[in-house]
């Protein structure tokens, strides 16, 4: 049988995925970054078809951190809903960035619940509303115009669900690349263009394990911080590693490193985190997590030349 | 205008975290943390911040500062007024 292949190119090389037959289920569990997510079709709900990038995260276990019941239908914000956040819908046409009239996704607060209402770039007629409470483990997802089968974690829902799981657990989602080498985990944080992927590629070339080259979830288990990749941003096997050093990176002509402590370390890191925290309590929890991490893991700014010398420099300065 | 008798309070739209002897302050605007405007305070700034409690006036803060740090009264007064002026402009404190 001749298999078709598909690939997703990345700066770390190409990953050729053996295309697998679609699987349809009424329910399944995913483990992503240690979060156990159960997707369950409601009685009148659609067949669930997990996308291939989540296949390696499917687990067979009955417990869950959150159960998302998937329904056919729509749910809009009530008159008393308060809109908290709007992500504009920006598309690129012929090199020009254009903002559409409709929003990409929005977050509302209503009677103690949150509503995420979203469009799907890959399924233009499909819309969804995720209704949930941060205090409860059963969430409801209403999907319209999806047909009789659908991927309940289609982008952007995948990242949004993971984001709120990090918020519930006081974990951190951050723009960073992470590598694990000789028993040590290094995290390189920076916004777009700072060199996260470049850094990951340099370590990849010497045989380090790259956890991810762009976004990480950081979780705290009994005072030990670990970084996790997710299938949201790249097709990959689940990976995680402890974090021993944190670097705030930027390109330069020469390699240099300056330790950063206390409030400076916290403030520089929070600006690289992905967050749309909407209440002082959420913000305080998030700030507490970053602060605790900075109190336990050395943080430094790192200016680097994009060649192997930076690896030698880092290892020499351990 | 700030005077020696002015009494200030922390803005309710600020989330703070003490880390070591310093503070990180994040303003909250329209229900969202404004990560583009994160402030930090060093040890002496944190000391003044903690004295701003809605009860102490500026003169009392200056006096306490001179007791705690090796600084003359005139310098302390100048620094405290400057600090309060900055924090007021950033809407971190209010009367």
Kindly provide the ipTM of the predicted complex, given to two decimals: 0.86
Chain A residues in contact with B22 by the CB 8 A cut-off are 262-264
The mean pLDDT of A140-162, rounded to a whole number, is 94
**pLDDT tens per residue, range A176-219:** 999 999 999 999 999 889 999 999 999 999 999 999 999 999 99
Assign B71 to helix, strand or coil: coil
* pLDDT band of A146, cuts 50, 70, 90: confident
How far A261 CA lies from chain B's nearest CA (Å)?
9
- Within an 8 Å CB–CB cutoff, is residue A170 touching chain B? no
Are A291 and B32 a contacting pair at CB < 8 A? no
Residue where a domain terminates, one of A125, A151, A168: A168
Mean pLDDT (chain A, rounded): 90
Q: Choose the CATH number for B9-90 among 1.10.3430, 1.20.1530, 1.10.10, 1.10.3470.
A: 1.10.10
| Pick among A262, A269, A289 to test the B interface (most B CBs inside 10 A) | A262
Please indicate, yes or no, whether residues A140 and A177 belong to a single structural domain of this protein: no
Is A48:A28 a contact under the CB 8 Å cutoff? yes
- Within an 8 Å CB–CB cutoff, is residue B42 touching chain A? yes
For A175-230, the DSSP string reads EEEEEEETTEEEEEE-STTSSHHHHHHHHHTTTPEEEESSEEEEEEETTEEEEE--
A98 part of a folded domain: yes
**pLDDT tens per residue, range A89-108:** 877 778 888 887 778 999 99
- Within an 8 Å CB–CB cutoff, is residue B37 touching chain A? no
**pLDDT tens per residue, range A254-294:** 999 999 998 999 999 999 998 877 788 888 999 999 999 99
Are B36 and A271 a contacting pair at CB < 8 A? yes
Boundaries of domain holding A213: 172-316
CA A138/CA A134 separation, integer angstroms: 10
The domain tally of chain A equals 2
For residue A137, how many other CB atoms are within 10 A of its CB? Answer: 13
A143 part of a folded domain: yes
The residue ranges of every structural domain in chain B are 9-90
- Within an 8 Å CB–CB cutoff, is residue A264 touching chain B? yes
Please indicate, yes or no, whether residues A211 and A157 belong to a single structural domain of this protein: no
């Amino acid at each position: 049988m001749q298999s078709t292949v598909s690939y997703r190119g990345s700066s770390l090389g190409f990953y050729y995925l053996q295309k697998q037959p679609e699987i349809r289920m009424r329910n399944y569990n995913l483990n992503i970054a240690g979060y156990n997510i159960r997707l369950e079709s409601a009685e009148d709900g659609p067949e669930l078809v997990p996308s291939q990038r989540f296949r390696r995260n499917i687990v067979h276990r009955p417990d869950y951190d959150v159960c998302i019941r998937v329904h056919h239908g729509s749910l809009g914000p009530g008159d008393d809903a308060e809109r908290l956040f709007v992500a504009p819908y920006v598309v690129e046409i012929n090199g020009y960035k254009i903002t559409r009239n409709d929003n990409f996704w929005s977050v509302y607060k209503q009677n103690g619940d949150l509503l995420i209402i979203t469009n799907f770039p890959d399924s233009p007629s499909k819309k969804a509303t995720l209704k949930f409470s941060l205090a409860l483990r059963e969430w409801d997802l209403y999907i319209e115009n999806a047909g009789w089968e659908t991927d309940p974690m289609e982008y952007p829902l995948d990242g949004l669900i993971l984001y709120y799981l990090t918020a519930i657990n006081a974990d951190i989602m951050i723009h960073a690349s992470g590598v694990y080498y000789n028993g040590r985990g290094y995290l390189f944080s920076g916004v777009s263009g700072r060199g996260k992927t470049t850094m990951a590629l340099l370590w990849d070339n010497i045989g380090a394990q790259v956890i991810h080259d762009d976004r990480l979830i950081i979780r705290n288990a009994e005072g030990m911080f670990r970084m996790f990749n997710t299938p949201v941003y790249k097709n990959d096997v689940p990976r995680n590693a402890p974090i021993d050093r944190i670097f705030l990176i930027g390109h330069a002509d020469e390699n240099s490193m300056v330790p950063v402590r206390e409030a400076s370390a916290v403030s520089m890191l929070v600006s690289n985190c992905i967050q749309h925290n909407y209440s002082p309590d959420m913000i305080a929890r998030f700030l507490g997590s970053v602060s605790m991490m900075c109190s336990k893991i050395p943080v430094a700014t790192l200016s680097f030349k994009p060649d192997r010398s930076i690896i030698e420099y880092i290892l020499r300065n351990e | 205008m700030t005077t020696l008798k002015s009494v200030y309070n922390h803005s309710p739209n600020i989330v703070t975290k003490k880390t070591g002897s310093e503070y990180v302050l994040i303003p909250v605007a329209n229900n969202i943390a404004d990560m583009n405007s994160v402030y930090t305070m060093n040890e002496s700034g944190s000391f003044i911040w903690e004295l701003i409690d809605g009860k102490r006036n500026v003169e009392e803060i200056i006096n306490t500062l001179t007791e705690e740090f090796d600084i003359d009264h005139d310098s302390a007064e100048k620094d405290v007024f400057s600090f309060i002026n900055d924090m007021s402009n950033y809407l971190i404190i209010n009367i």
